[in-house]
A and B are shown apart, each in its own frame.
Chain A
Amino acid sequence: MTGTTLDDYTDRYARRVRGMTASEIRALFAVANRPEVVSLAGGAPYIAALPLDAVGEMLGRLGSEHGATTLQYGVGQGAPELRERICEVMSLSGIDASCGASPEDVVVTVGGQQALDLVARLFLDPGDVVLAEGPTYVGALGVFQAAQAQVAHVPMDDEGLIPEALEVAIADLARAGRRVKFLYTIPTYQNPAGVTLSEERRERVLDICERAGLLVVEDDPYGQLGFEGEAPRPLRARRREGVFYLSTFSKTFAPGLRVGWILAPHAVRDKLVIASEAQILCPSAYAQSAVSTYLGTMPWRQQLKVYREIYRERRDALLDAMADLMPEGTTWTRPQGGLFVWATLPDGLDSKAMMPRAVAARVAYVPGTGFYADGTGAGNMRLNFSFPTPERIREGVRRLAGVMEQEIAMRKVFGAVGGAGPRRRQGGSDAPGPDLA
Chain B
Amino acid sequence: MSDSPAAPPPVTGSAVDELHVLVLAGGLSYERDVSLRSGRRVLDALRAVGVQAELRDADVALLPALTADAPDAVVIALHGATGEDGSLRGVLDLWDVPYVGCDARSSRLAWDKPSAKAVLREAGIPTPDWVALPHDRFSELGAVAVLDRIVDRLGLPLMVKPAQGGSGLGAAVVREAASLPAAMVGCFAYDQTALVERYVPGMDVAVSVLDLGKGPQALPPVEIVPRNGVYDYAARYTAGRTTWHAPARLDAATTARVTEVALAAHTALGLRDVSRVDLIVDAGGDPHVLEVNVSPGMTETSLLPLAIQAAGLDFGRVLGTLVTRAAARR
Residues in A lying within 8 Å of B, measured CB to CB: 1-7, 9-10, 20-24, 26-28, 30-31, 34, 36-37, 353-357, 359, 362, 407, 409-415, 417-419
Contact = CB atoms under 8 A, between A and B. Distances in A.
Contacts of A2: 245
A357 B189 contact: yes
A7 B239 contact: yes
A5 B28 contact: no
B307 to A, nearest CB: 12
Given A37-B28, A410-B185, A413-B139, A3 B241 contact: no
Contacts of B306: 4
B231 interface: no
A26 B36 CA distance: 14
Interface in B133-192: 135, 138-139, 143-144, 167, 169-170, 181-182, 184-186, 188-190
A4 B181 contact: no
A381 to B, nearest CB: 14
B189 A3 contact: no
A407 to B, nearest CB: 8
Given A21-B238, A22-B236, A6 B300 contact: yes
B244 to A, nearest CB: 5
Query: For this complex, into which size category does the number of interface residues on chain B fall?
Result: 35 or more
Contact of B189 (A30, A37, A353): A353
B115 interface: no
Contacts of A415: 143-144, 181
23 contacts: A1-B245, A4-B244, A5-B240, A5-B242, A5-B244, A7-B240, A20-B238, A22-B233, A22-B237, A24-B169, A27-B31, A31-B28, A31-B30, A34-B32, A353-B185, A355-B189, A356-B30, A356-B189, A357-B190, A407-B189, A412-B139, A414-B181, A415-B143
A36 B225 contact: no
Given A30-B36, A356-B169, A23 B239 contact: no
A411 B185 CA distance: 7
A27 B34 contact: yes
A5 B243 contact: yes
Contacts, number: 107
A359 B139 CA distance: 23
Nearest to A358: B189
A88 B179 CA distance: 59
A1 B186 contact: no
Interface in B64-104: none
Given A27-B30, A30-B36, A31-B30, A6 B240 contact: yes
A356 B144 CA distance: 25
A27 B300 CA distance: 16
Interface in B10-42: 28-34, 36
Contacts of B169: 24, 27, 356
Contact of B139 (A4, A407, A409): A409
A36 B29 CA distance: 12
B294 interface: no
A1 B237 CA distance: 23
Nearest to A359: B30
B181 A417 contact: yes
A227 B275 CA distance: 57
A30 B182 contact: no
A326 to B, nearest CB: 19
